[in-house]
Structure 1
Amino acid sequence: MTPEHNSARHDRDSVADVALALLDEVGLADLSMRRIAARLDVQPSALYWHFSSKQELLAALSDRITAPLRAVADDVLPLARRVRDALFTYRDGAELVLSTSALGLGSSYAQSALEEALRRAGADDPQDRAVALMHFILGHATLVQQRMHADSYGAASPAAGDDATAGLDRIFDLGITALAGSARSRSAA
């Protein structure tokens, strides 16, 4: 069967499903169009029927990771935790969403949900605060994921401490409440 015929059995969703599974297995650095194509038993060129570039595929994966946040109507802190946890769902999920966000690719489901939560809480400058919160969440989650990977390979420096997740919620909550500012005090009242 030629690659063109074989690729007909796949669609954007099945390619993205395989790519997410591979992301979990090999990480972002080793996620390649060639590897995805091999898993689908197609030629790499067949993937370009569904995604015009690897960047478009990565943006679609980023959207899949953050899409469940569209329907969330939590207060700022619980929502921020949900965003962080969504990034932790996949190996290198935070790095993937960070890189696509930095390039202006994909949707901004998480940032939009944060902005709406800030509006409901009566925060000043909800759009700017949502951007700041998203930057903090992405940075924090990426740092934690990288440290967890280093720990799993025994590559973390002894000076880095014993547990990458020690104090995770406390430090995270401190950053979120500081950046949310008046939203926290108004929602607590």
Structure 2
Amino acid sequence: MALTAAEIVETAHELVGDYGLQDVSMRRVAAELGVAPGALYYHVPNKQELLRRVGHRILQPLHRAEGGPLALFSRLREAVLPFRDGADLILIAYALDPQLPPVPALQAALAQDEYEAAQAAETAGQLMRYALGALAVEQNAVLFGASGQDGEPLYTAGLQRLLRTGPVSDEPG
């Protein structure tokens, strides 16, 4: 049976879920699939691209902004936090692909909230950076046993504050 990119991504996805980001390497994925590491490179050019694809796989359900931006970010949190190192993985994937889901859906939702296209794109980027940073801090605090405030209320409050400011104008107030 021929090896496919989908099998490679699925295996890396499982490894992230089972062992975390640090234990995912091209050699480990190849070993899990019973192939030589070089066989992977025909389908996936490098580890970064593999992680980007795993990020897309995790965020696949976030292509639509049903319920608006806050509901979309709640679903982002639900998709990312169950994976050990999920927030760090999505940070890497987002750095490699700024149009990673849910960015297009978020831009569309913001445009419906009367943001101009450029403002919607800029605001979506700002919100994603906040959300992914907040999720990474929350997830790492749990991984390292640090106690602190409950993550979800803090995460949501920050997003609400950012969204409440509305579109930013370059004109003097």
TM-score, length-normalised on structure 2? 0.86
Counterpart CA distance in 2 for 1:20 and 1:29 is: 13
CA gap 1:14/1:106 in 2 versus in 1, 3 angstroms:
farther
Counterpart CA distance in 2 for 1:28 and 1:9 is: 26
Counterpart CA distance in 2 for 1:41 and 1:181 is: 52
* Structure 2 residue corresponding to 1:177, chosen from 156, 160, 167: 160
Hey, what does 1:111 align to over in structure 2? Answer: 103
Counterpart CA distance in 1 for 2:49 and 2:132 is: 20
Hey, what does 1:139 align to over in structure 2? Answer: 133
Residue deviations 1:50-71, cap 9 Å, x none? 1011111111111111121113
Counterparts of 1:17-28 in structure 2, within 5 Å, are 17-28=10-21
CA gap 1:42/1:107 in 2 versus in 1, 3 angstroms:
farther
1:59 lines up with 2:42 in the alignment: no
Residue deviations 1:9-66, cap 9 Å, x none? 3211111111111011221112111111111111111111110111111111111111
* Structure 1 residue corresponding to 2:35, chosen from 37, 42, 47: 42
Hey, what does 2:150 align to over in structure 1? Answer: 167
Q: What stretches of structure 2 of length at least 5 have no aligned partner?
A: 167-173
Superposition deviation, residue 107 in structure 1? 4.1
1:93 lines up with 2:86 in the alignment: yes
**Please, what is the CA RMSD of the aligned residues?**
2.0
Counterpart CA distance in 1 for 2:163 and 2:123 is: 6
Superposition deviation, residue 105 in structure 1? 3.3
Superposition deviation, residue 170 in structure 1? 1.7
Q: Which is greater in Rg?
A: 1
Counterpart CA distance in 1 for 2:99 and 2:53 is: 9
TM-score, length-normalised on structure 1? 0.79
CA gap 1:106/1:12 in 2 versus in 1, 3 angstroms:
farther
**Amino acid corresponding to residue 9 of structure 1 in structure 2:** A
Tell me if structure 2 keeps the 8 A contact 1:66–1:109: yes
CA gap 1:46/1:107 in 2 versus in 1, 3 angstroms:
farther
Tell me if structure 2 keeps the 8 A contact 1:77–1:173: yes
4+ long deviations beyond 3 Å: none
CA gap 1:101/1:60 in 2 versus in 1, 3 angstroms:
same
